[in-house]
């Protein structure tokens, strides 16, 4: 993973609550065995009409969407399916942070493993950012855990110490897990398996 570096960006706004991962990337695009090429299908069924033409009203088809790194949405972003294709598609499109008031558990975990920062902010700050309108620019500071709103207000956001370390240093969790091999072996010795799926 690349090291997560602080940045400023325009905000792309989709002001809806409960945006589920089936909208972020519909299931029929999950037949791939690769992680690549998923940005073409990001929000596919809202982004394209039935003939496959871009829907001009959808935010990703509007000027300013390309190159933006912050996606702003309503409450409970990323609910539903566990598909990691959702953060893969968002990051491949160019996003490095999603701002909401809350995130679904699995989506948040998947995002943190892909250098996509889930930024949960209080409802009043969220409303202020929504009201700032198209073209609003924010600054993301992961080290200090602050999001600077267009008016200059700095809003703190939570991120656990371990995930922050992994993002800032550009390391992934599996390396850390594999370092605990001795502890895993001790646990296995003390807890014989109840099943043998190979039998």
CA distances from 146 to 39, 66, 176, 193 (A): 27, 24, 27, 45
What is the spatial distance between Cα 101 and Cα 130, in angstroms, rounded to a whole number? 12
Q: Is 22 exposed, middle or buried (0-12, 13-18, 19+ CB in 10 A)?
A: middle
**What is the C-alpha separation between 154 and 113, in angstroms, rounded?**
25
Quote the least distance from Cβ 67 to another protein, whole Å.
27
Question: Which element (helix H / strand E) includes 140?
Answer: strand 137-141
Q: Which CB sits closer to another protein, 128 or 139?
A: 128
Residues 149-188 that bind another protein (CB under 8 A): 160-162, 165, 172-174, 176-178, 180-181, 183-184, 187-188
What is the nearest approach in angstroms of another protein to the Cβ of residue 191? 7
User: Per CB under 8 A, does 110 bind another protein?
Assistant: yes
Query: Out of 2, 50, 63, 144, which residue is the one contacting another protein (CB under 8 A)?
Result: 50
Residues of this chain that bind another protein (CB under 8 A): 15-18, 20, 22-23, 26-28, 30-35, 45, 50, 74-76, 79-84, 102-106, 109-110, 113-114, 160-162, 165, 172-174, 176-178, 180-181, 183-184, 187-188, 191, 193-199
């Amino acid at each position: 993973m690349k090291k997560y570096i602080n940045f400023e960006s325009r905000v792309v706004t989709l002001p809806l609550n409960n945006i589920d991962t089936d909208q972020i990337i519909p299931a029929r695009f999950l037949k791939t065995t690769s992680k690549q090429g998923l940005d073409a299908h990001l929000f596919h069924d809202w982004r394209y009409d039935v003939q496959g033409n871009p829907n001009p009203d959808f935010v990703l088809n509007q000027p300013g969407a390309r190159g933006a790194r912050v996606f702003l949405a309503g409450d409970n972003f990323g609910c539903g399916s566990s598909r990691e294709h959702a953060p893969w598609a968002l990051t491949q499109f160019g996003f490095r942070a999603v701002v909401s008031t809350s995130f679904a558990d699995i989506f948040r975990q998947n995002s943190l493993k892909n250098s996509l920062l889930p930024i949960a902010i209080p409802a009043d700050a969220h409303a202020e950012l929504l009201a700032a309108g198209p073209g609003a620019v924010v600054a993301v500071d992961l080290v200090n855990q602050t999001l600077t709103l267009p008016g200059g207000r700095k809003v703190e956001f939570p991120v656990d110490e371990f995930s922050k370390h992994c993002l800032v240093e550009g390391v992934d969790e599996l390396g850390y897990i594999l370092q605990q091999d001795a502890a895993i072996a001790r646990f296995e010795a003390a807890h014989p398996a109840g099943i043998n799926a190979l039998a």
